[in-house]
Amino acid sequence: MLDLSNFDPNVAGNPNNNIFGLPSTEQEARVVLLPVPWEVTVSCGAGTARAAEHIFKASLQVDLFDPDMKDGWKEGFFLKALDRKLLLKSDYLRKEAELYINFISKGEEVDGNKFMCKSLKDINEGSLFMNNWVYEHTRELLKKDKLVGLIGGDHSTPLGFYRAIGEKFGEFGILQIDAHADLRNGYEDFKYSHASIMYNALAEVPNLSKLVQVGVRDYCSDEYKFICENNDRITTYFDAEIKTRQYEGETWKSIADEIVNQLPQKVFFSFDVDGLDPKLCPNTGTPVAGGFEAEQVIYLFKKVVASGRQLIGFDLNEVGVGEGLDANVAARILFKLCNLLVKSNAAVMA
């Protein structure tokens, strides 16, 4: 059990403690957060590989009182140390990817260029290494009966986690908040691109029975066709359609209830912060006009938990760094996600 006898939740967060200033150890914590410092295939803005460090600093300013889950933090939340070797690997391959993307964007042929062929091979092998790294680390945490959240990095990072979740819990669904569909097959020749995470999840995670996407507003014709051809496994709530329904009188409650009804009993939240209005996270990798207020997404998440469905994990991705609200907003979303994870699994813990 977490010893809180000398801890005052009403004072400023202590940077010598762990996430949110909590005096948790990994062994004591019910929720363990895995940072994945990876952004090799991002095709626009960079910086997300260092998001966890910025979120940690911002988390010290988050008040621990949550009226929806007043004592959730007492179960213990713990952020694992950043793997510096993985970060360095990401930094190196990111430079390779930038050169490669620039090369193919000009219509150049890759096959005749040995350097580009090697770069592509190294990038795809590096991404596979990252996937396996995430799988091994999340699997070990799940074996210890920890509740696990992942902090990216770009949105390619959670694929190995999805595999581990499926092995642990069996059939499950993903509720994806995102401006993008992420259903491209090997975007820019990168098999495990950040723009391909849900395509790869559907292809490689057999226990993933349903993908429900919410807020999508930037997608290509191939992705739209893929959605239409796979409507038994994919339900997409496009941002424009949601807004139109609201403009014509429907409430967010009625739409949220409909979304929840699309989900199976066990649910994983995948939160790309570019699903929010970009004023909240302006430094995210690929911001897109439109999107949600943070309260709207949290309302939807609370609806899922209130429905009796079990939240089995989450990822929080694409948090940019720099001047802006990004880390501040992400830290507060992270705290809510941790509390909801504890609340949803209270019966399991008992």
Q: Which of 163, 157, 194 is nearest to 179 (CA)?
A: 194
Written in H, E and C, the secondary structure of 5-24 is CCCCCCCCCCCCCCHHHCCC
Q: How far apart are CA 77 and CA 75, in angstroms?
A: 7
Location of structure tokens 């988390």: 59
Beta bridge partner(s), residue 267: 173, 311
Q: How far apart are CA 143 and CA 182, in angstroms?
A: 29
pLDDT score at 46: 78
Q: Which of 344, 331, 326, 317 is nearest to 134 (CA)?
A: 317
Domain ranges of the chain: 19-349
CA of residue 7 relative to chain centroid, distance: 30
In DSSP notation, 89-157 reads: HHHHHHHHHHHHHHHHHTT--STT-HHHHHHHHHHHHHHHHHHHHHHHHHHHHHHTT-EEEEEESSTTT
Q: How far apart are CA 91 and CA 86, in angstroms?
A: 9
Beta bridge partner(s), residue 151: 35, 316
Burial 87-110 (b: 16+ CB within 10 A, else e): bebbbebbebbeebeebeeeeeee
pLDDT score at 350: 46
Peptide bond into 47 cis (omega under 30): no
- The one-digit pLDDT tens for each residue of the chain (350 residues) are 678 888 999 998 999 999 999 999 999 999 999 999 999 998 777 789 999 999 999 999 999 999 988 899 999 999 999 999 999 999 999 999 999 999 988 888 888 899 999 999 999 999 999 999 999 999 999 999 999 999 999 999 999 999 999 999 999 999 999 999 999 999 888 999 999 999 999 999 999 999 999 999 999 999 999 999 999 999 999 999 999 999 999 999 999 999 999 999 999 999 999 999 999 999 998 999 999 999 999 999 999 999 999 999 999 999 999 888 999 999 999 999 999 999 999 866 54
pLDDT score at 348: 61
Q: How far apart are CA 334 and CA 55, in angstroms?
A: 9
For the chain, the distance separating the N- and C-terminal CA atoms, rounded to the nearest angstrom, is: 14
pLDDT score at 285: 87
Task: Tell which CATH architecture fits domain 19-349.
Answer: 3-Layer(aba) Sandwich (3.40)
Location of structure tokens 């790294």: 133
DSSP 291: -
